[in-house]
Structure 1
Amino acid sequence: MAAKDSRHIGPEHVAIIMDGNGRWATRRGLPRLRGHKVGATRVREIVRACPDQGVRYLTLFAFSTENWRRARTEVAGLMALFRSHLRSEADELTSSGVRVRFIGERSALNRRLQDLMSALEHRTRENDRLHLTIALNYGARDEIARAAARIAAAVARGEMAVGDVSAATIGRNLETADLPDPDLVIRTSGETRISNFLLWQSAYAEYEFTPVLWPDFSADHMADILLEFGGRERRFGAVLT
């Protein structure tokens, strides 16, 4: 998607790397999964707040392709938590006008989880108040590689020439092809890396790294960040006068 030509405007699309659940729990002497459960309540709060804060698109990094390296018990607990919350939140998401979609490689996920994901996407497909994208078993390099493979296959079939391949071609073959690029990427917990999240789409995004752990990240924290974003100058490579 093309970058917006605007100096001072609230973000239409916010992407969040929800980090710090495990540390939040460990600091309190609790199992790491307890931190993930509390973090899930924050997802609900932020989703509810976004429309009133002027955010129309929200993308959340829920589980990366690298997260499979965690302890087997933690991964199993996370997958059970995903299934539980997709069931428990489905009615409210639908009634509150949230359209839900998922990005990431689904084939490695439990069949029951895949079915819940597909059912929620279908159920909310006509909603338009907030577009919620959940990155589950997602890695940006993997996404770009799969896009490149689709383009290569099209070239091999004679449907396009090598010279026709462009940045726009790649963008159209990403899972986010029908979404605007993120205006703002937030990472909680104080870490200052992007961890293979929306690498292509965030080329011109603004970043905010907050020390607040995700289970403590509230709608008020979000509002403060959005207010600060409104004072930034976004040049998109140009010199503004």
Structure 2
Amino acid sequence: MAKQASEGSAPRHVAIIMDGNGRWATRRGRPRLFGHQAGARRVREIVEACPDLGVEYLTIFAFSTENWKRTQAEVAGLMLLFRRYITKEAQRLLAKGVRVRFIGDRVRLDAKLVALMDELEAMTAGNTKVHLTIALNYGGRDEVTRATQRLAVEVAASRIRPEEVDAETLSRFLDTCMLPDPDLVIRTSGEARISNFLLWQSAYAEYEFVDTLWPDFSAACFAEVIEGFAARDRRFGAVKA
């Protein structure tokens, strides 16, 4: 079991860029999809570690709007993996008290996958132990663009006055409108970039870039990062006396 974080020190919302699946597989002489399968299994462990660590909200970056540029075979394999993950894990997530939400643009996704996503969201809607959000066909710039379009419709219809539009107003139109902003963003695999993930929401998030590839990022690794978060001095733009 992961070590429990000190009371009051844990980030309420952790977001993770799950990077390194392909390299993990390549180093083992296996196809990239083998790494993605291993990465999907790792998700369960991290989700189930959250309650002991004091993490209420977990958001994971599963597939970006840029990932469509990968080979057709890899994209097709990932979409099949998402369907299998939802089908396999649904009852366990329900039993563990996990509420699942999906963010991202669903228009381009397969109808069968979207139906499974809708079903899982509805099935777990009453759960409150862990709030798991899966970013699927998600991009931060795309999200803000879609939010702005929805907001513009409201302004054009005179339901919102232009002078009423501020940061809080726009936030209500984001995919994450039901979530608190992330306190901590973790990226695995040694890469030090944010890759268009939760750009608006992470304005004051702490970042942790770890060298471990995602399939090797255990609950113990997760707990270590959570413990390190407690030592950070978060000022949100202010200067302490």
Supply the distance in 1 between the matched residues of 2:45 and 2:91 (Cα, whole angstroms). Answer: 15
**Correspondence for 2:78:** 78
What is the alpha-carbon distance in structure 1 between the residues aligned to residue 69 and residue 196 of structure 2? 15
CA distance in 1, matches of 2:9, 2:203: 18
Partner of 1:44: 44
Instruction: For residues 114-143 of structure 1, give each alpha carbon's deviation from its aligned partner in whole angstroms, at most 9, with x where no partner exists.
Output: 000000000000000000000000001010
SS of residue in 2 equivalent to 1:106 = coil
Secondary structure at 1:108 match in 2: coil
Alpha-carbon deviation of 1:234? 0.2
CA distance in 2, matches of 1:17, 1:240: 31
Q: Indicate the SS of the match to 2:121.
A: helix
SS at match of 1:78: helix
Q: Secondary structure at the match of 1:88?
A: helix
The answer to whether 1:99 aligns with 2:106 is no
CA distance in 2, matches of 1:160, 1:131: 30
The residue correspondences of 1:29-40 to structure 2 (distance < 5 A) are 29-40=29-40
Unaligned runs of 5+ in 1: 1-7
Distance 1:108 1:215 in 2: 27
TM-score, normalising length: structure 2 = 0.96
Q: TM-score, normalised by structure 1?
A: 0.96
Deviation per CA, 1:146-189: give whole Å up to 9, x if none: 11111111111111221111000111110111110000000000
The answer for the alignment partner of 1:59 in structure 2 is 59
What's the CA shift string for 1:77-124, capped at 9, x where partnerless?
000000001000000000110000000001111111000000000000
> How far did residue 199 of structure 1 move?
0.2
Please give the alpha-carbon distance, in whole angstroms, between the structure 2 residues aligned to 1:61 and 1:133.
9
Letter in 1 for 2:202: S
SS of the equivalent of 1:35 reads: helix
How far off is 1:9 after superposition? 2.4
* Pair 1:223-2:223 in alignment: yes
Which AA in structure 2 matches 1:227? E
Deviates further, 157-166 or 204-213: 157-166
Distance in 1 (CA, whole Å) between partners of 2:69 and 2:135 is 17
Q: 4+ residue stretches of structure 1 with deviation over 4 A?
A: none
Structure 2: distance between partners of 1:25 and 1:226: 27
User: What corresponds to 2:178 in structure 1?
Assistant: 178
Gap runs ≥5 in structure 2: 1-7
- Whole-Å Cα distance in 2 between the matches of residues 188 and 89 of structure 1? 23
- Cα drift, residue 239 of structure 1: 1.0
* Equivalent-residue separation in structure 1 for 2:59 and 2:240 (angstroms): 29
In the alignment, is residue 205 of structure 1 matched against residue 183 of structure 2? no
Whole-Å separation in 1 of the counterparts to 2:160 and 2:99: 33
Q: CA RMSD in A?
A: 0.8
Please name the residue that 2:108 is paired with.
108
SS at structure 2 position matched to 1:152: helix
1:128 is matched by which residue type in structure 2? T
Distance 2:172 2:39 in 1: 33
Give the total of aligned pairs. Answer: 234
Instruction: Indicate the SS of the match to 1:50.
Output: helix
Write the distance in 1 (CA, Å) between the matches of 2:180 and 2:59.
11
Counterparts of 1:9 and 1:44, CA distance in 2:
23
Once the 2 structures are TM-superposed, how far is the Cα of residue 219 of structure 1 from its aligned partner?
A: 0.2
